[in-house]
Amino acid sequence: MARTDPLARVEKMYVDGFPDATDASIEDLRASYDALLLQFPVPESATVTEGEIAGVPTVTVTAAGAATDRVLVWFHGGGYVLGSAKAFAEMAHGLSRAAGVTVILPDYRRAPEHKYPAAVDDAVLVATAVLEQYDAVAFGGDSAGGGLAVATLVSLRDRGAPLPAAAVLISPLLDFSRSGESIHANAATDIAVSNASITDLGAAYLQGQDERTPLASPLFAEHHDLPPILALVGSAEVLLDDSRRLTEKVNAAGGTAELSVYDDMCHVWTLFASILPEGAQALDEAGAFLEKHIQA
């Protein structure tokens, strides 16, 4: 399939941005992933602050003109092993600008040092505190962070706790058992994620627990009584069917879930919105969805 010049550039950045995983340490991989994303600076017009919520470190990003009383809690990607709040601040700025909200990025604990359910525990702590402090709240996340966002929704619902107004997911990782058809059908077109990489990340995070544990692979949770969800995913991704199946399950359970598939896009293409027009378009779509559902 032909690639546009911007998409080819982004895919090359993905491929060139990581050392050989067979020889690299986790610290090397983490540093490389952060470096890949930190080359895109947050505009000076934004307000970026580091802090802590419920004992969990956070980075808060507010674009110029965005509201401070309307909040999006965004869980960053990285397979529960890589990624950091600081490295995802530029994309958070894009979401803040598009939705007119303040974005809170929790630096939840990562595997393998902290296995499941450490990330979920941290996410629930932050989510609960934010929901207690603000009236207008949404959740979201990309890749594993998208799975963590859904796990947090399920956990709060099962506790009878308040829920946010809506949730946005970008290329969510929802199934560590890798049971979707796109895992194999899109193996040749996904340059960022593979059956093998999901297997390795799952081993680091789950450390022997069932791959279909509902709060680790929330595709296998119950999906009733959840807020409206928008899932955005690239047609070339191995995780395409995670989003397809989740939206089907939420709608079948009586909820509202929208699926937006971007032709030929790579994993979490919104990270490269300054290069990819489709990345900027997806952020605008997410922003419009959030703006529709979050009311101060």
Active-site residue numbers? 143, 237, 267
Q: How far is CA 24 from CA 27, 31, 243, in A?
A: 8, 11, 30
- The tokens describing 156, both together, are 């709060």
End-to-end CA distance of the chain: 44
* CB atoms near residue 168 (< 10 Å): 31
Contact 65, 47 (CB under 8 A): no
Three-state SS string over 217-254 comes to CHHHCCCCCCCCEEEEEECCCCCHHHHHHHHHHHHHCC
Dist. CA 132–CA 218, nearest whole Å: 24
